[in-house]
Structure 1
Amino acid sequence: MKPKFGVVVFPGSNCDYDAYYSLKKVLHYNTEFIWHKEKDLKGSDVIILPGGFSYGDYLRTGAIARFSPVMDSVFSFAENGGIVIGICNGFQILLEIGLLPGVMLQNESLKFVCKDQYLLVENESTIFTNKIGKKVIKIPIKHGEGNYYADAETLKEIEGNNQVIFKYSSKEGKVEKKFNPNGSLNNIAGICNRKKNVMGLMPHPENACDPILGKTDGALIFKSVIENFTN
């Protein structure tokens, strides 16, 4: 079975074409855009909520996009076991709609960060990571509000359930504050829901897929997802 990716486009998205290009042109996966006003997910097997500044980040990141017509369909799709990946702003939208726990705060430095970042693969057995094959990957980050926060009870729950998928780290996989680019709680860079079919991450895997750019670790995430359909 060849799965189909649906990339949702919101007003203000600026990484939708990056995601589409990497999935369609680089990895050669069946991929289609889905406009935010549509409710039809077009037979997609995997939904991508891309990065950017949906609705100009008015009110707060993801707050308005959460009410886009397409999100009712995405919510039902996820609740029924469909695979959803929220990247950067997409992660923020997943937090706003309640498909993932916690909130996103402004970066601790109060500055926008844009650089390649090492990530420790904290959970190697999810559908998003099972084919990565190495403990540390390097993927670009570019955000101003990537400071993940959750209350103590929620944090205990997601760590106890192995819902933390990626943590900011050194090249050697050390998880320390000095390797944390935004102040995110416990260096958390990406999490999933209890069912482990919905993932949100601040780094941009779609920008680390093309060998021409000299970085391909992001492709390992999408290849892991594809493996879920071929087994």
Structure 2
Amino acid sequence: MKFAILTFPGTSCEVDMQHAVTTVVGGTSEIVWHKDAVISDYDGIIIPTGATFGDYLRPGALAKSTELAKQVVAFAATGKPVIGVGSGFHVLVELGLLPGAFLMNPSLKFETGKATVRVNNRTKFTSAYEQDAVIALPYAQQFGSYHVDEVTAKQLQDNNQVVFTYTGESFNSTAGIAGVVNEAGNVLGVMPLPERAVEEIIGGIDGLPFFESTLKNWSEQ
């Protein structure tokens, strides 16, 4: 299974993502610059974190104006997996592939650390976790507050689209949401960073089942 890891000005964790996908779990991936991207032949795409276009205007907003944006929307419509992590989650929201909006952390500062999150649903991205497993994943974000209105929050919960929720610090995200999928189940956005938790030497392996699930389940399509 071959992933395109899409990069924009300000992307900063594409190498971490490629290491997780290719070196650690044995998939295949290529880092692709947004201006050079032709993504239709890939099996999946990942938008890693960073500060896309410097978070100018608002996080992910300028990525929506690129030629690649149309390709990503079309790619998602095929049912292939699309993953946005951190800043990549911002981009998926701006493209309309996932609902919601992002605001600054309540501290109004960039924050890093580890978040404890619950795996609420065992999707194709998370089947290797036990249901309701509580895991620790790193985060590094300034715009970490995910917001949807009450009606949308209930719809996400009722449709089992809330994949991850914070169990501790929630950054004031609606209903503690840390990650969601679209109704079709092939587009995932998550704020904590599983690619930074795939080896004990870098602080733990709680992100490893995320990549194992993704490669196993989507390869079997």
TM-score exceeds 0.5? yes
Question: How many Å apart are 1:153 and its aligned residue?
Answer: 1.5
Aligned to 1:176: none
Identify the residue that residue 221 of structure 1 maps to in structure 2: 210
Instruction: Kindly indicate whether the alpha-carbon contact (under 8 Å) linking 1:6 and 1:42 is maintained by their aligned counterparts in 2.
Output: no
1:11-43 deviation digits (Å, cap 9, x = unpaired):
110011111122122222111111111341162
Structure 2, unpaired ranges of 5+: none
Deviations 1:87-145 (A, max 9, x none): 00000000001000011111122122211111101112x10111123611111011011
Letter in 2 for 1:59: L
Instruction: Tell me the secondary structure at the aligned position of residue 9 of structure 2.
Output: coil
Assess if the C-alpha contact under 8 Å between 1:78 and 1:198 holds in 2. yes
Secondary structure in 1 matching 2:93: helix
Q: Is the 8 A contact 1:54 1:62 kept in 2?
A: yes
For residue 178 of structure 2, the aligned residue among 179, 189, 200 is: 189
Q: Is structure 2 residue 195 aligned with structure 1 residue 206?
A: yes
Query: What percentage of residue pairs aligned between the two structures are identical?
Result: 39
8 Å CA contact 2:102, 2:146 repeated in 1: yes
Secondary structure class of the residue paired with 2:207:
helix
Kindly indicate whether the alpha-carbon contact (under 8 Å) linking 1:113 and 1:181 is maintained by their aligned counterparts in 2. Answer: no
Preserved CA contact (<8 Å) 1:8 1:48: yes
Alignment-derived partner of residue 56 in structure 1: 54
SS at 1:148's partner residue? strand
Q: Which runs of 5+ in 1 are unaligned?
A: 170-178
Residue type of the alignment partner of 2:71: S
Q: Which residue of 2 aligns with 1:75?
A: 73
Give RMSD over aligned pairs: 1.4
Question: Are the aligned partners of 2:84 and 2:91 in contact in 1 as well (CA < 8 Å)?
Answer: yes
Letter in 1 for 2:184: K
2:146 is aligned with 1:148? yes
Change in Cα spacing, 1:150 to 1:120, as seen in structure 2 (3 Å) is: same
Shifted more, 107-116 versus 89-98: the winner is: 107-116
- Give distance in 2, aligned partners of 1:221 and 1:18: 14
Shift of 1:148: 0.6
Does the residue aligned with 1:216 lie in a helix, a strand or coil? coil
Amino acid at match of 1:227: K
Distance 1:129 1:41, change over 3 A: same
CA contact (8 A) 2:153 2:175 kept: no
Counterpart among 21, 32, 40 of residue 23 in structure 1: 21
What is the rounded CA distance, in whole Å, between the counterparts of 2:11 and 2:79 in structure 1? 25
1:217 match: secondary structure: coil
